[in-house]
Amino acid sequence: MELRYNPLLDDWTMVASNRSHRPTMPKDFCPFCPGSGKVPDDYDVYAYDNDFPALMPDPPEPDPVGSTLYQTRKARGKCEVILYSPEHTITLPQLSVDHIEKLVDLWTERFVELGKDPAHQYVLIFENRGEECGVTMPHPHGQIYAYSQMPLKIRTELVNCRKHHERTGRCLICDMNREEKAFGQRVITENDSFLAYLPFFTDFPYGLFIVSKNHKTALPDFTRKEKRDLAEMLKHMTGTMDTLFNRLFPYMMVLHQRPVNGDDVEAYYHFHIEFYPPLRDRNKLKYYASSEMGAWAACNPHAVEQTAEQMREAYRRYLKKEGRSA
């Protein structure tokens, strides 16, 4: 377990050979279910230390394989599992808004707590859903990684948001919200506090963004009303995804928030959630293949103005199924 420096990208790769021993969950046992001895017998949502972490508060020394060029570093940080429910087969959109609001509160609590450690630079809250995304434990859950180094994608976002602010005096993501609202065709829905749309540039046919309307940088900034509106939006949008092709819709969901220790980014960074769904049709995957991986040159096989209309229609069907109107 260690970090290895990539001088080509000015980035660090996590090495965690212990994760190769992660089990595929047996059919007769789940460590996340009440009665397993691993979790409380009674809980609504629960934070659980990952049994196979890539990062640890007190990691071992790196292997003696580094050099001046190929640097190594301790894999310091924290990996947690966030259990959404004690029910083994339930999914996020099947939870009530009240229940998802408890999940948002737990995310907030863990973000604040993990941010207190000065060794942590960034706290990433995320969920992998579906076998297509490598999920081996189907019990409803997400994860949190607290990194001792700033992840490259987040660092790139921060740099570009800062440059936009220096050039215009405005927040880039606030400007994106205005642009998407004005154009309209990529917007799926909105409530009082959040806007959901397929951004102009997304890599994925159904690469949804959920963005706060008010200029807030992280979960602790939200009012009670905003947290409830976020819970409602998460329920409705994940339910819409399942309705789109009438199947469990795989996705990677990542909360993009301010760094926990470091420069003040309040003026130019903005809370948003990004979804990376690997489907391009009901039974067809959108592979992140050579161009995407080798050159970071993404190719979306669909114009999002068309897929956004499909998602809006799925949203209307979802609301009808829930006994609601758009």
Rg (CA), the chain: 20
DSSP line for 146-166: EESS--HHHHHHHHHHHHHHH
Token look-up 């998407």 returns: 180
Catalytic annotation on 141?
Answer: yes
Helix/strand/coil for 240: helix
- 228 near 97, Cβ under 8 Å? yes
- For helices 224-244 and 97-115, angle between their N-to-C axes, nearest 10 degrees: 120
Torsion-angle region of 159 (φ positive above 0: left; ψ -120 to 50: alpha; else: beta): alpha
Identify whether the C-beta of residue 219 lies closer than 8 Å to the C-beta of residue 238. Answer: no
Say which residues have a Cβ less than 8 Å from residue 131's Cβ, sequence separation at least 6.
250
Q: Helix, strand or coil for residue 20?
A: helix
Q: Which residue in the list 120, 139, 141, 165 is annotated as catalytic?
A: 141
Q: Catalytic amino acids? A: 141
